[in-house]
Structure 1
Amino acid sequence: MILKLNVKLHYRLSAPMDLLLQIEAADLADQQVRSAEIWTSDVAYFSRVAADDGIGERIWIRSEWDFSCTYIAEIAVDRPALDISALPQAPLHLLPGETIKHLMPSRYCPSDQFQAFVDAEFGDLAGGARIAAMRDWIESTFSYVPGSSHAQTTALDSFVQRQGVCRDFAHVLVTLARASSIPARFASVYAPDVTPQDFHAVAEVYLAGSWHLIDPTGMADADTMARIGVGSDASSVAFLTGFGSMELVNQSVSVTRQA
C-alpha cells in the first residue's frame, strides 16, 4: 500500500526557543520511504538526532517568533495483516533486553495499578488472545470524544472516565498490556482512515518475537499505518515539543492511499 502524506504546521512562539520536531515517517523494513521533503521557516539551527528504539528521527530546531513547516512524503507500507489473537506471549525471562523498559509503568501508563483488573477481567486469556480481548473491550467500552482529555490525562483518568481520543485509548491498551506482563509501547503513526485526519496514536505490543501495531479506536489496521516514532507513552513521541510558550496558528494532516 502506498500512502501519500501532506502535513503543515504553523506555531507562534513567545520568544526565540528550541523545538523538537518528530513528524517524518520512519524508514523501516515494513515501510519504505519512497520520497520525502520537509521545508521549514527560516530557523537558526536544524539537526537530526535518533529517536527512541531506533524508530525514526527527531529534529532539533532553534527558531524565532514564528515556526512553520511542510512535510510531504510517499510511503510504501508492506506489513501483513495478522490475527494478533493467535500470537504467543514470551516468558519474561526470555524477553530481549530492549523490551524490558516497555514492561514498566510510565508517566501516563501506571500499569502497576491495573494488575488486579486485568487478572479479573482477562485472566482466562494469555498472549495475543488477551491483547485482542483488551483491544475489543476498550473499543466497545470507551467513547471517542474530541476535547474530553488534555495533555496531563493518564490512562487511569481515561479508564475512570471511559472516554478520550486516540492518545488516551492507546495509553489504556499499553497500560493493560504491561499489567499483563506483555511489553507495550506507544506509537505515533499516519493512517488514512482516521477521522478527523490528524497525527494518530496506537499501541504496539511485543508478541511472538516482534512488535505488532494495534489500534484500540478501531479506525486503523496495522497494514495501513506508517510509524512516525515510538516511546513509553505520549511524552516520548510528541510531534512538536516547544521548550517555552507557543501558540497554534494552524495545522493540517492529510493521509491518502495512492490510487
Structure 2
Amino acid sequence: MVAPNFHHTPEAPHGTAEGSAAGREPSSCASFQPYHQGQLDVFCAVYAVANALRSVHPLGMGQARRLFNDVLLDLSRDADAFRSVLYNATDHDALVRAVLECARRDVVPLRVERPFAASPALRVTGRVGADASAAGRGGRGPDGAAQPTPRAVWETLVGWLCGGTGRAAVLRFHRYLPFKGDPVISHWTAAGIPLGDTLFLHDSSREANAIHVIERGGFVTAPEHLSDDRLVLVEPRCLYLIDVSV
C-alpha cells in the first residue's frame, strides 16, 4: 500500500499549537514511496528461473519458496560467492545454473540447452560507438570472437518456445539510455509468449526502467551495435532453453 501524500493529509484543527505534532508541517518523509518487496535484493536470476518453470509446470508458492531458500542456503556456504551475488559483483550466471540444478533435483526433471554457451562474455559497461563496418554481423567479445547475430538469437529462442509444450527460456539483457555509457538496468528474465515480432516476458518488475517485451528488431547482441532506436542488449551466452517434458 502506498503511503498517502502529505498534500492530502487533513489540516490540523483550528487553534492547534504551532509547535505541537498535529500543527507541525509534514516532513518530506511523509510523501515517500515504500520499497516494494524484492526491490532491495538482486535475486532476479532466481525469480527468472522460477517464473520460467511456473509457465510450463505447476510450481506452487510453497515449492517455489523452498527452491528459493535452498539455493540461497547452498550459496551461503561459499562466503565469497554469496557476497558477489549480494553486492551484484557478478553476472549471476552461476546462480542461474544452481537454481536449474536444484529444480532438476527437487522440482521436476528437466533438460537445459545453451545454444550460445561458447560465445564470449561481453563488456556491457563503457558503451562504445557504433561500428558501421560491423553492421549486420555479430559483434566481438573481449577475446575477439564473434557474437551471434540478433537474428540468430531471435530465431533460436522463438523456434524453441514454439517447438513444443513444456518449453521455457531464461535470458539476460541490459537496457541503456541514449548517450549513456553504462546500462541503467541489467536483468535476468523469463521469456514468455512470442506473438509476431514481439516477445512477451514473464516478469513482474516494477522499476521505472523495467521492460516487459522485447521486439525482434529492437535489440542487439554486441555493445558496438547499440543505437538510439536499439537500446537493449541481449547476451547470447546467457540464453538458457528449458524443457520439462522429458
Q: If you compute each CA radius of gyration, which structure gives the higher value, 1 or 2?
A: 2
TM-score, normalized by the shorter chain, greater than 0.5: no
TM-score by length of 2: 0.24
Q: Where is the helix percentage greater, Structure 1 or Structure 2?
A: 2
Relative contact order (alpha carbons < 8 A, sep ≥ 6): 1 or 2 greater? Answer: 1
Q: Where is the strand percentage greater, Structure 1 or Structure 2?
A: 1
